[in-house]
Amino acid sequence: MKKTNLIILLVILIGGGTYLGYLSQLGTTAEASTLTAPSVLPDFTLNDINGEPKSIHQLAGSKPTLYVYFNSTCHLCQEELGLISKRIDEFKDYNLIFTTVEPVGEMIGFVTGLGIKDKGFVNFLLDAEMKVASYYQIKSVPSIFVYDAKKQLVAEYVGITDIDLLLEKLASGK
């Protein structure tokens, strides 16, 4: 009897752990009533990967903006940015701003490998002093924020998020 109980307990623990691992791989959607990110796109000035200071508001302009906080060593970030890069032409009517705390030397290869750094609507910024991370209270990456043309928050996600959903939210923000 003890052996059977032990086997059942072991199966439950392994199954539960597997299920929790699966859930951690999925992007979580924050509904409009539970949005916790700043309701207006913050206007920080950060250096881009070429060392030039850039204003987030100026980069966003008057287009819906996808703002992604990431880390190039994070496998979830690698997957999310890889998925975006494969469908980059579908984002041409929007502005994409990717921000990280990493030093430029650590991420330049990753950014180059994506093949999207030379797109006019794609920007990579370095949050060297963690100003943006602190302001957003980033706890997990990728953290994804969709802002409309008036720089108002439309949606926020953590983890891998469906590209069609991101495009849909951006389109709703025109």
For the stretch 49-60, pLDDT in tens is 999 999 999 999
User: Which of the four pLDDT bands, split at 50, 70 and 90, describes residue 34?
Assistant: low
End-to-end CA distance of the chain: 64
Q: C-alpha distances in angstroms, 61 versus 9, 82, 103, 149?
A: 56, 25, 26, 8
User: Which of the four pLDDT bands, split at 50, 70 and 90, describes residue 166?
Assistant: very high
7-11, 70-74, 142-146, 157-161: the lowest-pLDDT one: 7-11
Q: Where are the domains of the chain?
A: 29-172
Q: C-alpha distances in angstroms, 19 versus 13, 25, 139?
A: 10, 10, 21
User: Which of the four pLDDT bands, split at 50, 70 and 90, describes residue 36?
Assistant: confident
Q: Which residue has the higher pLDDT, 143 or 105?
A: 143
Confidence at residue 106, expressed as pLDDT on a 0 to 100 scale:
85
pTM of the model: 0.81
CATH fold for domain 29-172: Glutaredoxin (3.40.30)
